[in-house]
């Protein structure tokens, strides 16, 4: 049955569960970015601008990066799932996040303040690092959670095979 489904385009592909894959990859890509933020002093600057403690800023950043990873995987679909070029797509996506978030949203949330100097450089570099890691990790994370209908016994528990076995409720 799985061969029939695959022939008609029902085989789960690279866009299956993109939100989950992207969120996991986004979270996995966050620690190197946080380390770079801390190393360049940008983490303290962001926390001051947002009026939060460093720990709360890190937690909020992890949540935002998980959501951003999910958005990346959904928006870029197959391109995000490319092993050879995913890192580059991730870096481009992160550049767009930097332009939107660090340049536009952060001043709105932080009463018009922007990171400047070394702090601004750290924010930019950490986002680009995060994007490169996100793009490099996503294909491997996605493969681990990808449902494959060719797995023994799985196809019988899904779709038409399951419906054919189930007693009809009338």
- The mean of the pLDDT values for the chain is 81
Segment among 13-27, 51-65, 93-107 with least mean pLDDT: 13-27
DSSP, res 11: S
Distance separating alpha carbons of residues 144 and 146, to the nearest angstrom: 6
What's residue 62's pLDDT? 95
Whether pLDDT at 149 is above 80:
no
Under the banding of pLDDT at 50, 70 and 90, the label for residue 134 is: very high
What mean pLDDT do residues 26-31 have?
A: 96
Distance of alpha carbon 102 from alpha carbon 137, whole angstroms: 23
The pLDDT value recorded for residue 1 is 46
C-alpha angle with apex 22: 100 to 46, nearest 5 degrees?
Answer: 40
pLDDT score of 44:
93
As a whole number of angstroms, the longest Cα–Cα distance in the chain is 70
Phi, psi of 153 (to 5 degrees): 85, -15
Residue 33 is predicted with a pLDDT of: 96
State how far the Cα of 167 lies from the Cα of 170, in Å rounded to an integer: 9
Q: Please, are residues 29 and 72 in contact by the beta-carbon 8 Å criterion? A: no
Residue 39 and residue 119: Cα distance in Å, rounded? 10
Q: How confident is the model at residue 163 (pLDDT cuts 50, 70, 90)?
A: low
């Amino acid at each position: 049955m799985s061969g029939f489904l695959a022939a008609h385009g029902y085989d789960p592909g690279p866009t299956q569960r993109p939100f989950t894959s992207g969120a996991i990859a986004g979270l996995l890509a966050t620690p190197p970015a946080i380390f770079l933020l801390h190393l360049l002093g940008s983490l303290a600057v962001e926390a001051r601008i947002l009026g939060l403690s460093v720990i709360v800023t890190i937690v909020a950043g992890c949540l935002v990066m998980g959501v951003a990873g999910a958005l990346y995987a959904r928006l870029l679909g197959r391109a995000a799932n490319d092993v050879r070029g995913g890192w580059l797509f991730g870096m481009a996506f992160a550049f767009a996040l930097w332009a939107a978030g660090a340049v536009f949203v952060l001043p709105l949330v932080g009463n018009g303040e922007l990171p400047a100097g070394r702090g601004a450089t750290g924010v930019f570099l950490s986002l680009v690092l995060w994007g490169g890691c996100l793009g490099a990790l996503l294909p491997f994370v996605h493969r681990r959670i990808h449902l494959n209908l060719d797995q023994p016994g799985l196809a019988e528990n899904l779709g038409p095979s399951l419906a054919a076995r189930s007693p009809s409720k009338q």
